[in-house]
Structures are given as structure tokens and as C-alpha cells.
């Protein structure tokens, strides 16, 4: 079954807007798990625009499902991973100034760096995942670096879903078939939502986890957090 990991970056965005502790990020994580989330994802960006360094440690104390920390594996990120030992670290090639994640890794160009990073994560007992697009050579490169999982960057799928969903998902189905042959676990995330999630899940064999944040938190403004998580879980059955 595909697990739902709720990305709570946007809860921290709202909190930071006023500088206090409302909404309480750790309480929201606890409640997301109570409502059925099978993981909590955060992306502690260097500018702390939403998730702060302190959030990473605070959440480490309360998350009881899977704790997934995403980010560019610089010294700060790797220190956070070493000190909190989350379930999973998802390596993202984001520069410090991007508005949001907008590309996957070039696993061939960055083979040595990613190999060393995945080895270090393995030594710490942290599952590695590499944010990636569906290029098949890149997929083979991901196998070479020794990652446990890949995370498909589903932004392009979401962008083209409305115009032609069959075409939009085709490359992901093909890439997933290769990942399965290579023995790499499959995660997915970015711009997944209540409209496009089920079609994607049904088209991608052995999808282990989806991490969803922006749309889910926006949906919660209308349906409430508990009902919204229930809606997403229903689509993953
Ligand atoms: C890797 C990914 O696609 C998401 O985690 C994205 O990085 C969300 O980051 P923001 O919440 O800062 O847009
Ligand atoms: N890895 C994707 C993620 O954690 C959330 O992405 P989004 O749903 O906020 O686009």
C-alpha cells in the first residue's frame, strides 16, 4: 500500500507569518498522525522560510510514524540528519534561492557526491531517497550511487494532467518499471492533489510513498485537516 507522508512546511509558513507559535507545528504533526498520516515530511530550507532548524529537533521528539527530511545535502543538512536520524532523508538538488523544488538530480554528473552521501546515510541507519525525474539513464545512475529509493518529481505530471493525463503519466509508469527491475524503492511528490493523485498511484507499480503538502494544506482550509487526510488516504487504497 502507498503510504501518505504529510509535508507540513506550509503550517510553518503560516506560523512564521506572525512570529509566534500559532499554528503549533509539532502539535499539527501529532494530529496528522492521529488522523492517519503514515509519515511526516519537512524541508528545512537554509533561509528557514518555513521549517526552522529548531522545528527539525522538536519534530524528532514527537513524530512516531516515518520522519522524512528533505533538502540539499550540505553541511547543515547532514548535521541535522546525523543528530536526528530520521527514517528517511530525501536529497533534493535545490539551490538556496528557488521558490520551490523544480528539478531532480543529475545522478551521472553528481555520481561521486551522491554515492558518498548515500553511503553516509546508510552508515547512520537512515533510508536514502533521491529526488529525480523520469529520465531512464538518470534512473540507472541512481542505482549506481546506491540509493535505497528514488522520489519522482511529479511537478511535470501535475502541470500536464489536465491537458492529457495518459500522456502525463506515461513516463512515470515506464520509469517505475525500470526502478522495479533495478530494485530501487519508489516515492513520489510535488504538486500531487485530490484530482491527480489516484490516477498517478494506479499507473505507478509498487509506489511506496507519496509526500504531499501544498495542496493538502490548502484543501484543509475547506475540509479541515482530519477530513482532508481521510480524503487523501481513501485515494491511496
Ligand atoms: C521536494 C519537493 O518537491 C517538496 O518538498 C518541495 O520541496 C516543497 O518545498 P516548499 O514547501 O518549500 O515548496
Ligand atoms: N516531496 C514532495 C513534498 O514533500 C511536498 O510537495 P508539495 O505537495 O508541497 O508540492
| CA–CA separation, 127 and 215 (whole Å) | 26
Across the chain, which distance is largest between two alpha carbons, in Å?
Answer: 49
Cis check for the bond before 41: say yes or no (omega within 30 of 0): no
109: which DSSP letter? T
For position 149, what pLDDT does the model report? 98
pTM listed for this prediction: 0.98
Nearest CA to ligand 1 atom 9: 100
2: which DSSP letter? P
Spacing of C-alpha 12 from chain mean position: 16
C-alpha cell at 66: 516515518
Residues 6 or more apart whose CB falls under 8 angstroms from that of 160 comprise 167, 168
Ligand 1: which of 11, 189, 210, 218 to mutate, judged by most atoms within 8 Å of the beta carbon? Answer: 189
Out of 33, 70, 151, 209, pick the active-site residue.
Answer: 70
For position 8, what pLDDT does the model report? 98
For position 51, what pLDDT does the model report? 98
Per the annotation, does 191 bind a ligand? yes
Per-residue pLDDT of 136-189, as tens digits, reads 999 999 999 999 999 999 999 999 999 999 999 999 999 999 999 999 999 999
Angle at 229 between CA 105 and CA 44, to 5 degrees: 40
For position 168, what pLDDT does the model report? 98
For position 183, what pLDDT does the model report? 98
Residues of the chain falling short of pLDDT 50: none
Nearest CA to ligand 1 atom 12: 100
| CA–CA separation, 192 and 196 (whole Å) | 6
23: which DSSP letter? S
For position 12, what pLDDT does the model report? 98
For position 11, what pLDDT does the model report? 98
Out of 43, 66, 151, 209, pick the active-site residue.
Answer: 43
For position 79, what pLDDT does the model report? 98
For position 161, what pLDDT does the model report? 98
134: which DSSP letter? S
Alpha helices by DSSP H, listed for 146-164, are: 155-161
35: which DSSP letter? T
Per the annotation, does 119 bind a ligand? no
| CA–CA separation, 43 and 125 (whole Å) | 20
Q: Which residues of 186-221 are buried (b: 16+ CB within 10 A; e: fewer)?
A: bbbbbbbbbebbebbbebbeebebbbbbbbbbebbe
| 154 CA from centroid of ligand 1 (Å) | 11
| CA–CA separation, 129 and 150 (whole Å) | 5
**43 has catalytic annotation:** yes
Per the annotation, does 219 bind a ligand? no
| CA–CA separation, 213 and 222 (whole Å) | 15
Q: Which CATH superfamily, name and number, covers 3-236?
A: Aldolase class I (3.20.20.70)
Amino acid at each position: 500500500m502507498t503510504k501518505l507522508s504529510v509535508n507540513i512546511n506550509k503550517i510553518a509558513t503560516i506560523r512564521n507569518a506572525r512570529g509566534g507559535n500559532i499554528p503549533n507545528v509539532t502539535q499539527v504533526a501529532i494530529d496528522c498522525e492521529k488522523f492517519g498520516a503514515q509519515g511526516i515530511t519537512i524541508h528545512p530550507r537554509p533561509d528557514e522560510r518555513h521549517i526552522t532548524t529548531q522545528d527539525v529537533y522538536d519534530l524528532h521528539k514527537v513524530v512516531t510514524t516515518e520522519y522524512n527530511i528533505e533538502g540539499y545535502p550540505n553541511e547543515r543538512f547532514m548535521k541535522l540528519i546525523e543528530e536526528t536520524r530520521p527514517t528517511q532523508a530525501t536529497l533534493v538538488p535545490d539551490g538556496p534561492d528557488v521558490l520551490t523544488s523544480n528539478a531532480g538530480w543529475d545522478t551521472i554528473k553528481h555520481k561521486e557526491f551522491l554515492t558518498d552521501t548515500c553511503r553516509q546515510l546508510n552508515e547512520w541507519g537512515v533510508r536514502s531517497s533521491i529526488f529525480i525525474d523520469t529520465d531512464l539513464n538518470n534512473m540507472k545512475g541512481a542505482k549506481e550511487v546506491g540509493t535505497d529509493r528514488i522520489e519522482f518529481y511529479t511537478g511535470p505530471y501535475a502541470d500536464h494532467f489536465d491537458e492529457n493525463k495518459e500522456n502525463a503519466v506515461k513516463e512515470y509508469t515506464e520509469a517505475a518499471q525500470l526502478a522495479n527491475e533495478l530494485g530501487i524503492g519508489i516515492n513520489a511528490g510535488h504538486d500531487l492533489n485530490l484530482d491527480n493523485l489516484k490516477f498517478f498511484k494506479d499507473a505507478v507499480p509498487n509506489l511506496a510513498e507519496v509526500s504531499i503538502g501544498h495542496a493538502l494544506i490548502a484543501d484543509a482550509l475547506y475540509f479541515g485537516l482530519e477530513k482532508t487526510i481521510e480524503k487523501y488516504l481513501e485515494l491511496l487504497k
